[in-house]
Amino acid sequence: MSNNPNELNMIGHLDELRSRLIQTLVTFLLWMVTAFIFVKDIYDILVSDMERKLIILGPSDVMWVYFMIAGVVAITLTIPVAAYHIWKFVQPAVPTAAQRSTLIFIPVLTLMFIFGISFGYFILFPMVLHFLNEMAAGSFETMYTAQKYFTFMIHMTVPFGLLFEMPVVVMFLTKLGILNPAKLAKARKVSYFILVVVAVTITPPDIMSDILVIIPLFLLYEASLTISKMVYRKQLQSQSESSLAA
């Protein structure tokens, strides 16, 4: 057995990380089971505005769709727990004065994920679906399979749930000293390019849809940069006051 303090410390961190990952996974599985109990009701809500029923091509399609829906619900409800364990894991690296303010990371991360999914579901998804239906009108008989429909819906919603967390993650990383406004400003062009690629990839091939997605993504990046500036300025002010007091 090694007596090296650094190795022992590393082993302790790995054990803690494993424990927190297991707790997060157990939480996800519990929410998954709970969501699956009510998945039929959730499904009925999601298809309530459709004019015709979705079709399936095989018996297993029903289970696949229900597991997909339950999985997204479980991910959403697990985010607060995952955020808590992330915060607790990195808490020793966070300055004592900043620990209370970083606690806001937990609820805000969840809210931003929900806002992102809502943006995708209520704005982007119907817009893109309408565009595709208009393209098919008069030339094709439109029938949706449940699997294809919900796969498309998730592609239009879950990525935005993740992208809308950008300001919160930037705030947290700035608190830890990993990011700062200068780094974000320097990476603006590259970040914009990546965001444009993401927007073009998940939207239909028309300029209006691209613009409607690109603009919110750019605004999210600028909001992240502004938040980073505020946090960084406050950190510098706090350090200056500490130096004067010493």
d(CA 126, CA 136): 15
Model confidence pLDDT, tens digit, residues 123-155:
888 988 888 888 888 888 888 999 999 988 998
Q: Which two tokens stand for residue 62?
A: 């029903």
If you average pLDDT over residues 99-114, what whole number do you get? 84
Q: Is 213 exposed, middle or buried (0-12, 13-18, 19+ CB in 10 A)?
A: buried
Q: Is the pLDDT of residue 34 over 90?
A: yes
Crossing angle between the packed helical segments 5-37 and 59-90, to the nearest 10 degrees: 140
Crossing angle between the packed helical segments 207-245 and 188-202, to the nearest 10 degrees: 140
Model confidence pLDDT, tens digit, residues 156-166:
899 889 889 99
Is the model's pTM score more than 0.75?
yes
Q: Is 217 exposed, middle or buried (0-12, 13-18, 19+ CB in 10 A)?
A: buried
Report the chain's mean pLDDT, rounded to a whole number.
87
Model confidence pLDDT, tens digit, residues 85-100:
988 888 887 777 667 7
Q: Is the pLDDT of residue 222 over 90?
A: yes
